[in-house]
Amino acid sequence: MTRVLVVEDEPQLVRALRINLRARGYEVDAAPDGRAALDLAARHRPDVVLLDLGLPDLDGTEVIRGLRGWLSVPIIVLSARDASADKVRALDEGADDYVTKPFGMDELLARLRAAVRRAAPAEEAAVVRTDAFTVDLAAKKAVRDGADVRLTPTEWHVLEVLVRNAGRLVGQRQLLREVWGPSYEKETNYLRVYLAQLRRKLEPDPARPRHLITEPGMGYRFEP
């Protein structure tokens, strides 16, 4: 059984989450604040954490830091719409994904399933197909309409990081760090340029990308 730790101080939301998660076979622990969350996580090791960033005692990012020292399970942040700086900090601290409040229960459950699936040790697919193009991670190439797409090494690297995190938000800083290195974490214009190039080469309609998605102010997501 998958054990979910819900860290949230709004009783009504906790109640709704508990009912919906239990109905789908999850085991649920709930903590109303950060300290209770750290304590509960240590006693009942969760498989996934749903974490509100606005808690009465600790800041949600402090909870992430406290958990990340010893716990590698997915952490999905629940956060208000206007708090994008907080979301970025949460991702930098090691959160895996975020859902903006108010959210639909179906969306949250889909994100939760995806996070748990990704965390399960599985053979990594070497070839990822979309309806428009195919990415072969082992052969390091992309194919569109039966022909190899010519990508520069940097374009390939950006694409590779996104594809290896398929379905998952990759934060701007994380992407810059992985492709260009730690001293380039603020060069978000690089990302705009390279994503535009990748879309021109891969997306059927680059102005309306369906696979290389921008999450404004946050990062990018590859949707197969």
Q: Pick the closest to residue 143 from 152, 130, 158 (CA basis).
A: 130
Q: Pick the closest to residue 220 from 189, 175, 190, 179 (CA basis).
A: 175
CB of 173 to Ca ion, least distance (A): 25
Q: How many residues bind Ca ion (CB under 5 A)?
A: 3
Is residue 52 involved in binding Ca ion (CB under 5 A)? yes
Stretch that binds Ca ion, among 1-9, 70-78, 144-152, 178-186 (CB under 5 A): 1-9
Tokens of residue 107, six digits: 């969306």
CA distance 156 to 137: 10
Stretch that binds Ca ion, among 51-59, 125-133, 186-194, 199-207 (CB under 5 A): 51-59
CB of 75 to Ca ion, least distance (A): 16
Nearer to Ca ion, 38 or 170 (CB): 38
In a 13 Å sphere around the CA of 223, the CA atoms on its Cβ side amount to: 9
Nearer to Ca ion, 50 or 142 (CB): 50
Single residue of 18, 54, 132, 137 touching Ca ion by CB under 5 A: 54
Buried b (16+ CB within 10 A) or exposed e, 113-135: ebbbeeeeeeeeeeebebeebeb
Nearer to Ca ion, 52 or 97 (CB): 52
Helix (H, G, I), strand (E, B) or coil at 147: strand
Nearer to Ca ion, 52 or 93 (CB): 52
Binding-residue pattern over the window 9 to 48 for Ca ion, x denoting contact by CB under 5 A = x---------------------------------------
CB of 87 to Ca ion, least distance (A): 14
Angle of CA points 217, 222, 224, to nearest 5°: 150
Stretch that binds Ca ion, among 50-58, 85-93, 98-106, 147-155 (CB under 5 A): 50-58
CA-to-CA separations, 199 to 14, 57, 161, 207, in angstroms, rounded = 40, 43, 15, 8
CB of 78 to Ca ion, least distance (A): 8
CB of 9 to Ca ion, least distance (A): 5
CB of 171 to Ca ion, least distance (A): 22
CA distance 143 to 183: 32
Specify the residue for token string 């390279």.
194
Tokens of residue 12, six digits: 């009504």
Nearer to Ca ion, 16 or 116 (CB): 16
Which residues are near Ca ion by CB under 5 A? 9, 52, 54
